[in-house]
Structure 1
Amino acid sequence: MTADLEAIVTDVAAMMRGAQERGSVASYIPELAKVDASQFGLAVATADGRVVTGGDADTGFSIQSISKVFALTLALGKVGDQLWDRVGREPSGTAFNSIVQLEHEHGIPRNPFINAGAIVVTDINLGGHQPRVAIGEILRFLHYLAGDDDIAINEAVAASETASGFRNMALANYMRAFDNVRHDVDLVLGAYFHQCAIEMSCRQLALAGRYLMLDGRHPGGGRVVSPRRARRINALMLTCGHYDASGDFAFRVGIPGKSGVGGGIMAVVPGRASIAVWSPGLNASGNSHLGTLALEELARRTGWAGFSPP
């Protein structure tokens, strides 16, 4: 299977390099608008400890909303299921930064992977500390998961998000009015913007996602989360990981995944593989255009798809 997987990854990367339609980069964050849309990377970390890569798998990119998976893991470790008193678990059916649903549901975000829900998760992780403490915690967590201390924040991207993040400011202030953001809004957003600006390569991201492949275990030994929590995080990724396109992603790809507007997608095949793919051009739903196509092709060729058609 290893030889087959190497051939599959090589073929998929070659297909994506030659694709004509590549989507559009996220222009509403000025630093992301500068990224070369011709790039494509793919990395697969398997349950037997191998890492298979293709394309620009070692090029760093802004993980953006993929960071929400790791932030959620930390927050659940702090408050457990009390988190669900403040954040729902249902697909949103609306854009990742929509305020309409939030108003209708009295300041309770639909799930932790839309921006409003992730801001509440950040509020929990802040825990009465200064933002640098929460930022340091998630970085150390990623260093531990990936086995790589070089993972860092792209400060230019963080500054760009801070300067242009008016919708997120509105979401945070609206939830503060319902007492669902408990800390100073500027502190919460400072931590949130820096979290989204973490830069990783596909290789690093695939390695960081292994605990969700391994039923909550760290591949080096010990447990990151319980098996039940790992399965629940994967379930949320499948149903909510691609915003209003989550149903289509589940139908076409059939693997739990979380996207980010930096063009990355982290996907998990429980018991088999942790996958990271990156191509900066986005589709109309704000998910990587080529990344989605690549995962669909990878799932088809490996037989890893759980729900997509044959």
Structure 2
Amino acid sequence: MTTAMVAVYFEVAETVINNLLSRHREELEANGLRVLRGAELQKFKELTLSSCRESYPQPRSGMALWPRRAVLNVAMLLRDSEVARQVRTYLLDMEYMARTAPVDNSAYSPADSLDGHIDRSITHILGTAVVPMFNALIENSGEHRKELIALRQDIQRVERRLCHHHTRLRRLEGPRKDRPLAGVMAAIDAMNGSEFEEHIAGLLRRDGCTDVVVRGGHGDRGVDITGRTPDGRPVVVQCKRFAPHNSVTSPDVQKFLGAAKVLHKADVALYVATCPFTRDALNISAEGGVTAVHRGLLEAWSAGTALNALG
């Protein structure tokens, strides 16, 4: 959009937009605003403005081009524009909806995946904000009517593709016998530490363990969960809810190994993490009799696959 188009959209004088540009140039440029000058401006004039010299004022020293993000930035800065107030209200409503939307922490609910939520949010924004904005611009910007109509059609095609993609995503995320349920790790990543420990305790009980007790917190003596395997052997578990890009290191495993074997005299020791293990950590685990339940193994276990160490 040009500065004139932005002014038309917000129903203010062009000088108001120019004053905003002067006062908040750095912020607007960070959000995509671009000012054409020199040869770049001349080329733009030749390609875009040559057919409308009489109806469109020809820029002399420079021309500002506003992407959608910069236009929304203007809505945050304008005080005396009813359109800007409506845009701000809409953005605040969207932030509230995103912040207060209920989160399903169940590891067995693929329908509400992160990708699906993003698809629905983008589709909603396109249909209720972007397309109406183009409609208003088309009505008030005759010199670029064809280009704006083409852009609106492109956006509407994207909206239709997102709807189609969301339908396919729900179908693909459905349970199948040959793979774990999709969305398992997304649900686990959304848990806090206590919820994660309870989730692991639930998996132990599901697989036949008894006397399962969550001991996470102060005074846990180096383990988070204790219990007994289905055949009665003592089992201890360390739960680490790390970011997926982190890794469990050798010192982490060594510390747990001492607590599991010396303090608790456990026959089965599980180190369960939402991230990978380093090679040294895996070697220490194997040598010390600790089962390293890494992110991939945790996903399969949560989706129903039995853990061999408990058999």
TM-score range, shorter chain: under 0.3
Return the TM-score normalized by structure 1: 0.25
Higher RCO, 1 or 2 (CA under 8 Å, sep at least 6)? Answer: 1
Larger radius of gyration: 2
Q: TM-score, normalised by structure 2?
A: 0.25
